[in-house]
Amino acid sequence: MVGRKKKPSDKGSQEDRISELPDALICEILSILSTKEAVRTSVLSNKWRNLWQWVPGLDLLSCDFSDVNVFKSFVDKCLDSHKESWIRFSISMLMRCPDKLPLSLYTCETLVHLQLYGVRLFNAECVTLPCLKIIHLEHVTAPNETTLEKLISCSPVLEDLTFASCSAGDKVIQVRSQTLERIYIDWHIQVVVDAPLLQCLRTYMNSSKNFKLINLGFSTKLDIDAWFYHTPDTCLIQDTLADISRVRDLVISNVFWKDLFRLNAKLSKSDLEMLQTIPESCPKLESLILELVDDPFCSRKMKTEPKVTFTTVPGCLGSSLKFVELKRLIKGYKGEMELVRYFLKNSAILEILRLDFYHTKKAKCAFFQELVAMPRCSSACKVRVL
């Protein structure tokens, strides 16, 4: 009896035929399995080793991982495999708010809001962002200042710009935009602003000034969060004052000059509401000269007279302030009397309060009567009226 010959096994050829299927189709097959089963296929051959990572969904159980770090590492590995694909898909689907910036997004025609955190930007040779209105960059590193400048200048409808803890070397960033309305920068970056429609610039100042204003809107507001632990040098003050003169609305907060002994300031009635911040910011202040001036422009805009209110007593009034002079008091303004009353009542070691005002003789008599009746915290204080 002649035995029937066995046919050669076609197991290998079957395996080859499956492996020859397109990767996309294999991933589609693997997506039917659980993630745990899909991972097991990685031992079949070199081709299958990483295919499970391309499966579009993950089916995970916390009990399958020894700790959180192992879980995080596993998920990160899966997402790394999809990085380029999901970015390309996002662009093709006209995604409006991505959080990472591949090179292709420099020319995205539908991008409206760009918000990036903790990424490195590629060098931008060609930038076209016709719909971009908001740029928010935080802890972002740029290869050079040109990349950031192109993001701004090549966004023709840009309205809002934020640079927080960003780096572009030691170069100054030229912020030029005909549509930009709001800018926020911290002390990590320096800018020159040319934005005729700018409404508000918020920034920080520490040991140096990080902005220069060359072209602004008519009603620009400058909001400075200042931290001076030592008295700034004359050049810094002059440079800052030159820019302040270009704005209509100024807010300065957190100013702290611990070594400042003498201060001469000129204020209008509208500025008196922030007067309390001056002695609070100067703990060693010994001499304070305030010149009160009338601002016709502000007076026409204000419907009511601004009130001089003090909620606390700054430390320098009790420990160091010895001389106060109020110059050119505004005729008919009752707030000036509140200033006099405040300094007399709360200055524990005040030695001289000097007053210079424009009142008529009749008004002087009424003023003296009110002045004599005011309580004084310092028994050694002398009031001199010029």
Residue 7's Cβ-side half-sphere holds a number of Cα atoms within 13 Å equal to 3
Q: Tell me if 348 is assigned to some domain.
A: yes
What domain count does the chain have? 3
Angle at 228 between CA 306 and CA 244, to 5 degrees: 50
Domain that holds residue 360: 258-386
Pair (182, 251) in one structural domain: yes
Q: Does a structural domain hold residue 11?
A: no
Q: How far apart are CA 321 and CA 284, in angstroms?
A: 8
In this structure, the answer to whether residues 306 and 226 fall within a common structural domain is: no
Q: Are residue 196 and residue 272 in the same domain, yes or no?
A: no
CA proximity to 204, closest of 169, 241, 164: 164
End position of a domain, from candidates 215, 233, 256: 256
Answer yes or no: is 361 within a domain. yes
249 shares its domain with 120 = yes
* pLDDT of amino acid 345: 93
pLDDT score of 76: 66
Residues 319 and 249 grouped into a single domain: no
> Element (H or E) spanning 337, and its range?
helix 335-346
Examine the domain organization and report whether 114 and 241 are in the same domain: yes
Domain end (from 224, 256, 288): 256
pLDDT value, residue 277: 73
Is the same domain home to 225 and 303? Answer: no
Residue 313 included in any domain: yes
> What pLDDT was estimated at residue 124?
78
Q: Which of 67, 70, 75, 66 is nearest to 35 (CA)?
A: 75
135 shares its domain with 170:
yes
Classify residue 27: in a domain, yes or no.
no
Average pLDDT, 10 consecutive residues per value, the chain (386 residues): 50 60 80 81 78 72 72 68 53 50 77 84 86 92 90 95 88 92 87 91 75 79 69 59 66 66 78 73 88 62 63 89 84 75 93 80 78 92 88
Residue 180 inside a domain? The answer is yes
239 and 276 co-located in one domain: no
Residue position matching structure tokens 């700018």: 198
Beta strands in the chain (DSSP E): 113-117, 134-138, 160-164, 173-176, 182-185, 191-194, 200-205, 211-215, 221-226, 249-253, 262-268, 287-293, 323-329, 352-357, 382-385
The answer to whether residues 147 and 251 belong to one domain is yes
**Does 13 fall in a domain?**
no
pTM here? 0.50
Q: Same domain for 120 and 49?
A: no
3 secondary structure, DSSP code = P
Question: Is residue 89 one of the residues assigned to a domain?
Answer: no
pLDDT of residue 94: 46
Residues 274 and 359 in one domain: yes
pLDDT of residue 349: 96
